[in-house]
Amino acid sequence: MEERKILIIEDEQKIADTLKIGLLENGFYAETAYDGKIGLQLFLSREFDLVLLDINLPGLNGYEVCKGIRAHNSNVPVIVLTSMNTINDKIEGYDAGADDYLSKPFEFRELLLKIRVLLKRTLRQYIPEGTVLKAADLQMNLDRKEVKRGDTIIQLTAKEFQLLEYLLRNKNRVISRADIAINVWEVDFDTNTNVIDVYISYLRNKIDKKYDQKLIRTHIGMGYILKENT
């Protein structure tokens, strides 16, 4: 298989260089940028398969870099590396379009695992043109990344879209928070974090609040279900 190319945007040069060496040793191609602005320019000038992104960066911060990447290429996986790991930082990162998070300090083999999972997912992600998932009058066009209720287009962030896609693919089945954490975030959340509940409430505000037929229901103690019939 062709060598996968990884861009490391991290201003702590020692960390960046260590990551690069580790990735090269594991059969990846890697390049480093020690500044957000330079990193984004590098991303836009070459083809990369995945980006490792620090948040506190000179030039542009990680959130801004991530938004810049999403504005140009919505599919490249981005893993945010940060020492800030409060829930608000995570939500801000996901809102900016990050796919996964790793809190510093982390073990290199954990990073490798996340990289491999995300790269596999992008390879798998071929979806026939015009594929539409439906529940009642809700429609999700996977090809156009478009969500509608009736004729109304609903704007979702990347993470909200992924969460709704997972709910739709499992419609009429109760799914646990643990299932959602693993399948949508690809992490095991600590049980006391409420990222999932926060995102479910974002989704409800956007797809259910204004409509009589509520699609997302809570199963107390069990999780959530997207239900088509009342």
Q: Which residue is nearest to Ca ion (CB)?
A: 56
56 is an interface residue for Ca ion by CB under 5 A: yes
Q: How far is the CB of 54 from Ca ion (least distance, A)?
A: 4
| Strands 50-54, 5-9: pairing kind | parallel
What are the helix (H) ranges across the chain? 13-25, 36-45, 62-72, 87-95, 108-124, 158-169, 177-180, 195-207
Q: Which of 206, 200, 202, 205 is nearest to 226 (CA)?
A: 200
Q: How far is the CB of 8 from Ca ion (least distance, A)?
A: 12
Number of residues counted as binding Ca ion (CB under 5 A): 3
| Secondary structure (DSSP) of 198-222 | HHHHHHHHHHTTT-SS--EEEETTT
Site for Ca ion in 26-55 (CB under 5 A): 54
The residue among 39 and 147 lying less far from Ca ion, judged by its C-beta, is 39
11 is an interface residue for Ca ion by CB under 5 A: yes
Give the alpha-carbon dihedral of 60, 63, 64, 66, to 10 degrees: 110
- Structure-token pair, residue 190: 């600590």
The residue among 53 and 196 lying less far from Ca ion, judged by its C-beta, is 53
Q: How far is the CB of 56 from Ca ion (least distance, A)?
A: 4
The answer to whether residues 141 and 132 touch, using CB atoms and an 8 Å cutoff, is yes
Query: How far apart, in whole angstroms, are the C-alpha atoms of residue 150 and residue 122?
Result: 30
Q: How far is the CB of 42 from Ca ion (least distance, A)?
A: 17
The residue among 36 and 77 lying less far from Ca ion, judged by its C-beta, is 36
Q: How far is the CB of 119 from Ca ion (least distance, A)?
A: 24
- The stretch among 7-15, 66-74, 119-127, 191-199 that binds Ca ion (CB under 5 A) is 7-15
- The stretch among 3-11, 28-36, 43-51, 89-97 that binds Ca ion (CB under 5 A) is 3-11
Contact residues for Ca ion, defined by CB under 5 A:
11, 54, 56
